[in-house]
Structure 1
Amino acid sequence: MNSVTNTSLLKNLIFDLGDVIIPIDLTAPVRNFAMLANLPEDEVWAVWKQHGLINQYETGLVDDAAFRDHVRRLLKNDTETSDRWADEVIDTAWNTVLLDLPVERIERIKELKQNYRLFLLSNTSPIHIRRVNYILTSLNQPTLEELFERVFYSYDVRLAKPSPEIYQHVLTEAGIVPEETAFFDDNAANIQGAAALGIQAVQVQPPLTILDYLKDV
């Protein structure tokens, strides 16, 4: 679905984070870890996929420390100095996925709080959320937890989009119903997952941004 088709019943808005609120570059962390490890990018991609590390981290199966240790074990050469793979170095490389945050998107979301209940639903990791909140506060904006009535992070709920269970979890926990709810996400599979439950699911597709989809809301 490319727009909200029924605004008359609309009471609740659920937002994805990456490429909806903050632009992202999914290839950037791989490029940076490849440089750190002195490996080809495709080899790093293969390691990620083989071990399912990102999914484990984003669904809370491993914590920050275990994620960093896994990265070191998979990519670090035993002869390299530990400083090169310090926690902050790994965190910085991991956070290169996050691009500049357009403040006007935050301002529009703040306006919408006057008329709608607002929620955030993101497949993400604690390192990313801490960085996004740092970016927001440095721009004199509220944190994600202050901006939204409730935030639902995959690593907290131990579920990930597009699993139907994560959408049902949000509906149940927030006490909202699908027909009064719109969901904005950039991923087609995530949109289909939400739409299957009756949520008005809107795919945010470049060159349009969330601001274009919120004009009539």
Structure 2
Amino acid sequence: MIDTIIFDFGNIFIDIDYNLTQEALKKLGVKEWTTELDTLNNEYEVGKIDELQFIQGIQKHTNNADLIEIRAAWNALLLDFPLKRLEFLQMIEGKYRIFLLSNTDATHIDKFEHKFGESFARDFYSCFEKVYFSFEIGKRKPDENTYKYVLNSHNLTPKKTLFIDDRLENIEGAKKCGLHTWHLDPEKENVTQLLEFIKSIHD
């Protein structure tokens, strides 16, 4: 019986399109997303470097774009957050223990809070028993230690916990920790279908 749900953030609650950031960075001169840039991103996502170091790191790959342009390009992927998803979350918050576990960085979270407003963000965060952002905890999915960190911090039982993510590698990491999983396809599925999914597990 599922009593706990751990949600991802991007493409579960807020719609994102990585292509928009890639295109915006290309316009600034970033020809390709290199291994060096990937490493830089991972370091930023676990809080090893700050925003200035990260954006300056990208700047080296641009046509001398300024930091504000790069920050805007980096945030281009953040799209809509349909209100019905927040309302759904508010409806189920008393029925399950719910947590947020997201690979993200300070730049994206700052943009989210400004784009949708502090009161919206506060309403969203308050639905969760605890919010875990990779840049704050120094761990990121799909590392098994990331899931174990959340499980152990709250004495959660893996077989009673459902993890929801749109990225397959993160789902695989959760499975290794014994969690039930929903690999949500944002093209065809919506988090508001959660109760139907849980019913299918129990049937």
Give the TM-score normalised by the residue count of structure 1: 0.82
Tell me, yes or no, if the aligned pair for 1:53 and 1:67 is still in contact at 8 Å.
Answer: yes
- Give the Cα–Cα distance (whole angstroms) in 2 for the partners of residues 102 and 110 of structure 1: 13
Q: 2:7 aligned with 1:15, yes or no?
A: yes
Cα distance, 1:135–1:11 mapped onto 2, change above 3 Å: farther
Q: Post-superposition shift, 1:112?
A: 0.9
* Residue identity in the other structure for 1:214: L
| Normalised TM-score (structure 2) | 0.88
Structure whose alpha-carbon radius of gyration is higher: 1
Please tell me whether the aligned partners of residues 86 and 124 of structure 2 are also in contact (alpha carbons under 8 angstroms).
Answer: no
Cα offsets for 1:52-77 (capped at 9, x unmatched): 22111112121111111112223243
Partner of 2:190: 209
Tell me the equivalent position of 1:45.
Answer: 33
Q: How does 1:20-39 map to 2 (within 5 A)?
A: 20-37=12-29
Query: 1:141 and 1:122, CA in 2 relative to 1: closer, same or farther beyond 3 A?
Result: closer
Q: Aligned-pair distance for 1:168?
A: 0.2
Structure with bigger RCO (C-alpha 8 Å, 6+ apart): 1
Aligned counterparts of 2:47 and 2:76: Cα–Cα separation in 1? 21
| Aligned equivalents of 1:126, 1:143: Cα separation in 2 | 19
CA RMSD of aligned residues (A): 1.9
Deviation at 1:143, TM superposition (A): 4.9
Q: How many residues align?
A: 196
Question: Contact between 1:25 and 1:98, CA under 8 Å: does it hold in 2?
Answer: yes
Q: For 1:60 and 1:121, locate their aligned partners in 2 and report how far apart those are by CA, in whole Å.
A: 15
Unmatched 5+ stretches in structure 2: 199-203
Aligned residue runs from structure 1 range 47-196, under 5 A: 49-51=35-37, 52-77=39-64, 84-86=65-67, 88-137=68-117, 140=120, 142-196=122-176
Using a 3 Å threshold, how does the CA distance of structure 1 residues 136 and 181 change in structure 2: closer, same or farther?
Answer: farther
How far is 1:91 from its partner? Answer: 2.0
State the one-letter code of the partner of 1:185.
D
Structure 1: any 5+ residue segments left out of the alignment?
1-8, 78-83
Q: Which residue identity is paired with 2:40? A: L
Q: CA contact under 8 A between 2:44 and 2:105: conserved in structure 1?
A: yes
Match of residue 81 from structure 1: none
